[in-house]
Amino acid sequence: MRNWDEEIASRIKGWQRDSRLPEPASAPPTRRVADAAREKYRRDWRRVKRARFNASKRLERKDEASMMALAMAGMFGFIIPYFVEVFEETISQHLVNVLDFTSFIAGGLSLVVGLIELSKDYKARAAALHRCGLRVNKCVRALEARPNLDQSGLDKIVSSYELALEECGENHNSVDDKLGVVRDRLKQAASPEERKQAGRALTLLRLRELIDIYCLYLLIWLAPIAIGILVWYRFE
């Protein structure tokens, strides 16, 4: 995982160095500084906007996955005892004990993890990040719509941007940020080699995102089954 992060981070830094816009040599010194600051704000804010939207989508998927996984895990708590009651005369006592123990593990695990996951409130956090992305996008549009912006006007837009981040109360993670950078680079790729590198980086990031979203819930499903199989063979 660390090798992926280092590889993707090094590529992103290289892309950012390549994408720096040259300053017009004919512009006066005072205007040139203002244009450079304006362009830097626009570039940084667009990056933050993409990261906020990516984080919102990730948390929405995590909320849906947690609800589904915990519901499925909770089903073990009443399906297995019902199965044992129906087929009690045709299965061995050892199997009955293993199934009962497995259902207890599944029920307890789904209860504990469910309480922890509900406390994280993924749905509300996703909504907050989405609203923040919209407000940051509004700042970007305001910056782009006023090419002759003076310093006082720029300060007002900067204040609106900082207020949007402050009121959000939630932050994106590094994967959300890197996904936005890599997708933007993939669209701007000028050669097959650049598209190949950006595509590979995007695949690695998506894989890491999937692991972050679904790994815990797969463990909730698989852990009781694995424990049941272990108990079956250990005490057979």
- Looking at every residue in the chain, the average pLDDT score rounds to 81
Query: Which CATH number is associated with domain 28-171+214-234?
Result: 1.20.120
Q: Give residue 138's pLDDT.
A: 94
Instruction: Give the whole-angstrom CA distance, residue 166 versus residue 115.
Output: 28
Global pTM?
0.75
Give the percent of the chain with pLDDT over 70: 85
Specify the amino acid at residue 55. Answer: A
What's the rounded Cα separation, in Å, for the pair 204 and 197? 11
User: Per-residue pLDDT for 202 more than 80?
Assistant: yes
159-180 confidence digits (pLDDT tens): 999 999 999 888 888 888 888 8
Q: At what angle do helices 174-188 and 192-234 cross, to 10 degrees?
A: 140
Mean pLDDT for 120-137 is 93
- Give the angle subtended at the CA of 218 by the CAs of 231 and 220, to the nearest 5°: 50
Question: In this structure, what DSSP letter does residue 178 have?
Answer: H
Instruction: Tell whether the model's pLDDT for residue 196 goes beyond 90.
Output: no
* Contact criterion met (CB below 8 Å) for 125 and 59: yes
Contact assessment for residue 42 and residue 140, using Cβ atoms and an 8 Å cutoff: yes
- Three-state DSSP class for residue 182: helix
| Alpha-carbon dihedral sign for residues 202, 205, 207, 212 | negative
Name which residue leads in pLDDT, 138 or 173. 138
12 contacts 182 by C-beta, under 8 angstroms = yes
Question: Where residue 6 falls among pLDDT bands split at 50, 70, 90?
Answer: low
> 45-98, pLDDT tens digit by residue?
999 999 999 999 999 999 988 888 877 777 777 788 788 888 878 888 888 888
Residues 6+ apart with CB under 8 A from 105: 223, 224, 227, 228
- List the structure tokens of 12: 């992103």
> Distance of CA 137 to CAs 19, 52, 208, 235, Å?
21, 10, 27, 61
Domain ranges of the chain: 28-171+214-234
Percentage of the chain with pLDDT > 90?
21
**229 pLDDT band (50/70/90 cuts)?**
confident
What's the pLDDT at 38? 81
Cβ neighbors of 188 (< 8 A, separation 6 or more) are: 19
The answer to whether residues 43 and 168 touch, using CB atoms and an 8 Å cutoff, is: no
pLDDT of residue 22: 44
